[in-house]
Amino acid sequence: MRLSSEQRDGFIAQCRTAGLSVTHQRLATFEAVLANCNRHPSAEIIYQTVRERYPTISFNTIYKNLEIFEELGIVVKVNPLYNEARYDVDVRPHHHLICRQCKKIIDVHDEELGQALPPVDAENGFKVENWTVQFTGLCADCQPAQATA
């Protein structure tokens, strides 16, 4: 998937505003996240996608770029409490359904959930800065497999 001119210009503007140079590897990394956006791709999936165009790129380069993108608000890291972080280009506040079997992540845009208030700052001084709701269960594809197992 190639970036639209609007996506490309927006990405370049965000990088330049942050004082970050726009390299072919960064563009390819962002493009790979978008190409796999329905899967909430892991760094490994993004790496494999970028390697098709840039065979000498390192996993470390991909990972560092993803961390920078997260700091800039270009992507959101979704941690489904499994072994790997996944990345989401939808940076609007939203929540997730996570399949415990296949690890599929599905976005949930629900205004009522978005209006839920976080817990008041704990007595130990913890200050809540951000929160999401994650529902864990079985997706429609995995339910029949679970029933027959």
Q: How far is CA 14 from CA 69, 146, 149, in A?
A: 9, 44, 48
Identify the CATH homologous superfamily for domain 92-148.
Answer: Ferric-uptake regulator, C-terminal dimerisarion domain (3.30.1490.190)
CA distance 43 to 136: 22
- Give 105's strand partners: 98
Q: Under a CB-based contact definition with an 8 Å cutoff, are residues 131 and 94 in contact? A: no
CA geometry: angle 115, 34, 42, nearest 5 deg: 80
Q: Specify the CATH architecture of the domain 5-78.
A: Orthogonal Bundle (1.10)
Structure confidence at residue 90 (pLDDT): 87
Count of positions (residues) in the chain? 149
The model carries a pTM of 0.73
Residues 6+ apart with CB under 8 A from 10: none
Helix (H, G, I), strand (E, B) or coil at 52: coil
- pLDDT tens profile 105-135: 899 988 887 777 777 666 677 777 777 788 8
Domain ranges in the chain with CATH number 1.10.10.10: 5-78
- pLDDT tens profile 93-105: 888 898 888 888 8
Domain ranges in the chain with CATH number 3.30.1490.190: 92-148
Q: Which residues of the chain have pLDDT under 70?
A: 1-2, 80-82, 120-123, 145-149
Structure confidence at residue 135 (pLDDT): 87
Structure confidence at residue 38 (pLDDT): 82
Structure confidence at residue 145 (pLDDT): 67
CA distance 98 to 147: 18
Q: Under a CB-based contact definition with an 8 Å cutoff, are residues 116 and 133 in contact? A: yes
